[in-house]
Each structure stands twice: as C-alpha cells, then as structure tokens.
Amino acid sequence: MAVFPPAFLDEIRTRVPVSGVVGRRVKLIRKGREFHGLCPFHNEKTPSFTVNEDKGFFHCFGCGAHGDVIGFEMRAGHLSFPEAVEKLAGEAGLAIPTASPEERRREIQRAGLHDATEAACQFFEAQLRAPSGREGLAYLRNRGLAEDTITRFRLGWAPDSREALKKAVMSAEIPESLLIEAGLLKKPEGGGASFDLFRGRVMFPITDRRGRVIAFGARALGDGMPKYLNSPETPLFHKGSTLYGLAHAREGARTKGSVVAAEGYMDVIALHQAGFDHAVAPLGTALTEEQITQLWRLADEPVLCFDGDSAGQRAMGRAAERALPILTAGKSLRFATIPGKDDPDSLIKARGAAAMQAVLDGARPLVEVVWAMSLEGKPLDTPERRAALESELKEKAFSIADETVRWQYWNSFREKMREAFRPRRAPFVPGQKKSAVLGPLRGADGRVAGIPRPSPPIPARIRQERQLLALLIRHPPLLDAVGERLGETRFSDSALDKLRRGILSHLDGARGLDEESLCAHLRSDGLAGALEALLVSDEAASARRHEDARTLWEHTFVRYTHSDIQAETEDATQILANDMSDANFQRLSAVVSLGTRGTEFEDDDR
C-alpha cells in the first residue's frame, strides 16, 4: 500500500466534503447536523445511513459500514486506497506527493510516535484520578472546571517522579528511543539514564486537527518554573503551526461561522465550558502566519481575543503585522480586547458568558486596529510628524501582497488622515464677540436685500474630479504616467468614481488608444451616462497639446489631494447659501482667509 503523508490526507479530507462525495451515489436529506439516506452497501427500505460533515465520517447503523471520505470512495467505487486518494486529490486540485523510501520510513515512524503520545496521554489521565494526582485535580476543580470538561479535554497529571511515565509506558512496541523522539523522555547532557520530561505538572494534551495527541502543555503548581512547559519540536509537533483546541473547535466554528483565538489553554477550556465551543489558542507564542491561515480555513474573519494588559496589546500588534502581508479579498481579522486586567477565564467567572459575548461583539476590524496603533502616543502637531505617520501607514498598506486589498487599505488610511487633519472650527455661540469684519446689510430674514438666494455651487472637489477624468479621456496616453496615482484615489462623487474605475480597467491598452476608442470602450462598459455628462462640461478644453494636458493634470491633482481647506470652504459656502446669517458669513470669511495663506497656485476653476 502506498504511504501518503498524513498532512496530505488531512488536506484531502478538509477540501473534499464527505457529504458531497456520498451525495453523488446516495440521496441525502439533512436532519439537524447530519444527513440521512438509504445505505448504498446493503438493501434497506428505512434509512439507517448517516453522514456527519462536522466529524467527517459516514456510518450505517444497519450494516456497520463506517469511514471517512477516502473510505467511502474505496468502498463505493471498488478502489484501492492509493486509487481512492489519487481520485479525490484530483478533485481537490492537489498534486500527489512522491514518497521516497526515506519518506516512507518517516511515515512509519510517525505512526509509532502517535502510539507513544497516545499511551502517555492515557497514563496522565489515569494519574489525575489516582492518589498522586490529588493536587492537580484540586487545582482544576478550583479553576471551575466541570468533570465532563476535564474528561473532554483529556486533562491529566504527571507525577513528580523521574521515571513514572518511563516505567509505565516503555515496552517493546514503544521503546525508549521512541519516547525520547516524541519529547516525553530526556537524556542528560552529560550522559546517563533518560528521565521523564514532565514531572509534578497538570497536563494539557495538544492534538492535531483530527484529534490525535501530538504533544503536551504542562503547568507547574506552586513556585515551579517555568510555569508552562511545552513539548519540544518533534516530527509530529511544530509549535508555530499548531493551534490548541482545534479539533474541539472545528464543529463549533462551522456551526457559528466564526472562530475565536484566545491566549492560553485555560482560556480555551473556559470558553468552551461557557458555550464558546469555537475557541482555539496559539501555544505561548505570537500568532504565526501559518496559524492565521489555519484560522481562515474555519472562518473568513477570525476574532483574536487579547487580554487588556501590555503583553496582550503587544501580541495584538504582532498579530496585525503578520496578518497584513497575507490578507486576501474576503479574509481578514477582528480584534477583541478584554477590559481591565481580566482574561476570558476570569471575565466569565466574574460576569458570566454574556459579558464575554459583549466583548466578542465589540471586536474591531484589522484596519481600525492598525490605524489606532499607528496613532498611539504620537504627537501630530506638525507637518513633519503627519508626514511620518503617512509614510508609516503607506508602508503598512503596501506590505499587503494582494493588489486589491492593498489599494483598499491605502485609500482607507488616506480618508482617515484627511478627516483627522482637517481644521476644526469652533461653533458660533450667540452673544460672543463678533469679528470687526462687516458683512453686507441684511433684512430680518438674514438675506441680503434685493439679491435672490444663490444656488448651491458645485463643490470644488467634484470640479477637480471632472477635470482629472476629462483630461484622461481627451488624452488617453496620460494614463501611462498617472494611472498608479489615480488607482490610489477614490473620488467623492460616486458616478465619477465609477467612471474612474472604468478608465483604469483599460490602463494596459491606454497607450494605443485615442479619445474615440476609449469612449467607445467606456460606453460598452455601461458608463455612457457619466461619460456624456463629463464630455458636455468640456473640462479639458484648455489643454489641446499632450504636454499641456500633463501639466494641467498634475496641477489639478496636487490641489485635489491637498484640499482639506477647500472642503471647509465648500461646507461654509453651503451653510451660508442656506442661512445668510452674520455667524455663517464670518465663518466663510475666516476659512477663505486661511485657505489663501501660502497657496501656491491660483484656483483656475474658482
């Protein structure tokens, strides 16, 4: 029989749903969390055949047929194990790994390591209920764990002895060398007999996604150091690619469409006991890229739940930095912070599951967390400091490999910066001292006598957006030089922004297009309405030559991207048009005065 890497077989089971494979041969009816149908392996009139997608197996209560998606394909298709694996791998789009003799030897060895870790787990479980485990059991009960929770997570106790595990587990089938390789025994550096690695500790079995024990986490009681001790790296266990509680959380994550990553073993166990059965945790280190990818297999937006202390906030920052480069469309993270000095375990004990749910409901998206952490503790009272912030945010946005997500992040950061740095004006308070600037005489209704109420002007930003697009339509080769900057900019007018995206979609062929050809493409893209409205305005009439168009485009773009004062002017003008009062006139005068100071260019469209 061919030997395939377990990780490869797990990937097939993850990618190919058992209900889908079974459903090709059996008419399945969903009932709760399971599917029911007539067994394909024996004649029956009443359905006794079930498929459990969460657990990844089928079972017939009539004939006893049982197995996973590979076993079903073997049985139903009369295929050998390698044939079934190759068929399903093809459906999943996976290449069959070539197993060398050395790889085959390692797979056989891994099977022995699983036997060793499972035997150790059973030993630790038994010791917890023995007289030697009294202290460990009391600790777990004092932490509020119910008996069924202790059993479900297979918690145990390692006696405070150098050879208790070694004497109980070592045999011809599980020799000393295997126990050392599994990280259960340790050889002294100076030579001598091997001894138990875990002694006098509460034991937390760590499993793979299928629930097989691959390693242990161990907590010392009293003043023992280190407080937590993990198994060393082994052929079965790689700390940076393993999530504690993953096998327990898979079903809950599928049901809820969400997954929560907490900080430690007890947090995960307390969350599960309180009904949050979709919780996992990294193993004492910052969340790695591989662990984030595993979380995305369970949910599109995992919630990372961190303690409110400084260590928790540092972990949050590291997770955000590691997530940014690997973001893709639809895959992100959300961040929940436990208030005060609590962690999930203490919060649930003090205030109940509802308080924990409120924390999770208040989780913030990744973009908000990156923005907040970039601002934290930084004075932004000078142009140089604001420029440093802009540079930092741009670096973070441009670290994202996915182009679409990258531009969305950069546009979001730019909008936040424009809003944060826009000058604020104190509201007018009746009775305050008025400026010496005299406005026009007004009647009782606040309007200037004999002058009709003016129509609201077209905002300067929209006029600039029109000109930027009109210049590109009249001179398509301009896109070659300005396309990247245009892609970073989102217009305030939705119709013009849609036209902007339409023009950018023809970026690759812009060099060979003329005005007529580009317009024809845009009309065929369904943008005729916005295009015709723009052409009627003829915003590019003043630039006949390509060189003039380039100069005008650059000039307009500079003013557009530095138009916070202009936005304030528009707001003040709109308010004055609707209410011609002294206060509103003085506000407009002040904003205009501020905007004219230091202005490098005359506003051509004013």
CB 253 within 8 A of CB 203: no
With a cut of 70, say whether residue 181 has pLDDT above it: yes
With a cut of 50, say whether residue 131 has pLDDT above it: yes
What number is the average pLDDT over the span 417-432?
68
Nearest to 179 by CA among 187, 212, 471, 283: 187
The phi and psi torsions of 99 (rounded to 5 degrees) equal: -95, 120
With a cut of 60, say whether residue 125 has pLDDT above it: yes
With a cut of 90, say whether residue 368 has pLDDT above it: yes
**Six token digits for residue 325:** 């480069």
Q: Is 546 helix (H, G, I), strand (E, B) or coil?
A: helix
Out of 65-79, 110-124, 127-141, 347-361, which region has the weakest mean confidence (pLDDT)? Answer: 65-79
With a cut of 50, say whether residue 384 has pLDDT above it: yes
Which residues, including other chains, have CB under 8 Å from residue 147's CB and lie 6 or more apart?
A: none
The phi and psi torsions of 31 (rounded to 5 degrees) equal: -135, 105
Out of 28-42, 260-274, 444-458, the most confident range is 260-274
What number is the average pLDDT over the span 564-570?
58
**Six token digits for residue 338:** 């436990």
What number is the average pLDDT over the span 100-124?
80
CB 434 within 8 A of CB 584: no
pLDDT band for position 557 (cuts 50, 70, 90): confident
Exposure string of 382-410, with b = 16+ CB inside 10 Å and e = fewer, is eeeebeebeeebeebbeebeeeebbbbbb
With a cut of 80, say whether residue 488 has pLDDT above it: no
How big is the chain by its Cα radius of gyration, in Å? 33
Strand partners, 201: 158, 220
Q: Is 26 helix (H, G, I), strand (E, B) or coil?
A: coil
Residue-wise pLDDT for 71-96, tens only, equals 998 888 777 788 889 889 988 888 88
pLDDT of residue 358: 93
Strand partners, 345: none
Q: Report H helices in 40-80.
A: 69-77
DSSP label of 442: B
Q: Which residue has the higher pLDDT, 545 or 169?
A: 169
Long-range contacts of 24-32 (CB under 8 A, 24+ apart): 25/76
pLDDT of residue 485: 82
Name the CA dihedral angle for 527, 528, 534, 537, rounded to a multiple of 10 degrees. Answer: -170
What number is the average pLDDT over the span 299-307?
91
Out of 13-17, 176-180, 529-533, the most confident range is 176-180
* Residue ranges with strand state E in 416-486: none
DSSP per-residue string spanning 86-118: HHHHHHHT-PPPPPPHHHHHHHHHHHHHHHHHH
Q: Report H helices in 223-329.
A: 246-256, 265-273, 289-298, 310-323
Sheet holding 34-37, edge to edge: 29-31, 34-37, 49-52, 57-60, 66-67
pLDDT band for position 508 (cuts 50, 70, 90): low
Cα separation of 232 and 569, whole Å? 65
Residue-wise pLDDT for 332-366, tens only, equals 999 999 988 888 999 999 999 999 999 999 999 99
pLDDT of residue 84: 87
With a cut of 60, say whether residue 201 has pLDDT above it: yes
With a cut of 90, say whether residue 376 has pLDDT above it: no
Cα separation of 604 and 606, whole Å? 6
Out of 286-300, 304-318, 592-606, the most confident range is 286-300
Give the pTM: 0.60
pLDDT of residue 232: 94
With a cut of 90, say whether residue 218 has pLDDT above it: yes
Residue-wise pLDDT for 277-298, tens only, equals 999 999 876 799 999 998 998 8
pLDDT band for position 588 (cuts 50, 70, 90): low
pLDDT band for position 601 (cuts 50, 70, 90): very low
What number is the average pLDDT over the span 456-475?
80
411: part of which helix (H) or strand (E)? helix 403-421
Nearest to 73 by CA among 64, 65, 83: 83
pLDDT of residue 196: 93
Cα separation of 120 and 130, whole Å? 15
Cα distances from 7 to residues 52, 110, 209, 236, 545, in angstroms, run 21, 12, 10, 10, 63
Residue whose entry in the numeric block shows the structure tokens 């812009």 = 510
Residue-wise pLDDT for 518-528, tens only, equals 888 888 888 88
How far is Cα of residue 489 from the mean position of the Cα atoms in its chain?
24
What number is the average pLDDT over the span 461-490?
83
Which residues, including other chains, have CB under 8 Å from residue 549's CB and lie 6 or more apart?
A: 471, 474, 475, 478, 540, 543
User: Is the N-terminal amide bond of 82 cis, ω within 30° of 0?
Assistant: no
Cα separation of 137 and 270, whole Å? 16
With a cut of 60, say whether residue 592 has pLDDT above it: no
Cα distance between the two ends of the chain:
81
Q: How many CB atoms neighbour CB 257 within 10 A?
A: 11
With a cut of 50, say whether residue 452 has pLDDT above it: no
Cα distances from 266 to residues 145, 199, 604, in angstroms, run 10, 20, 66
Cα separation of 558 and 555, whole Å? 5
Q: Which residue has the higher pLDDT, 239 or 254?
A: 239
CB 113 within 8 A of CB 236: yes
Average confidence score pLDDT of the chain: 83
Exposure string of 452-491, with b = 16+ CB inside 10 Å and e = fewer, is eeeeeeebbbebbbbbbbbbbbbbbebbeebbeebbebbb
Q: Which residue has the higher pLDDT, 575 or 173?
A: 173
pLDDT of residue 164: 94
Cα separation of 460 and 567, whole Å? 8
Out of 88-92, 128-132, 559-563, which region has the weakest mean confidence (pLDDT)? Answer: 559-563
Cα separation of 503 and 479, whole Å? 9
With a cut of 70, say whether residue 585 has pLDDT above it: no
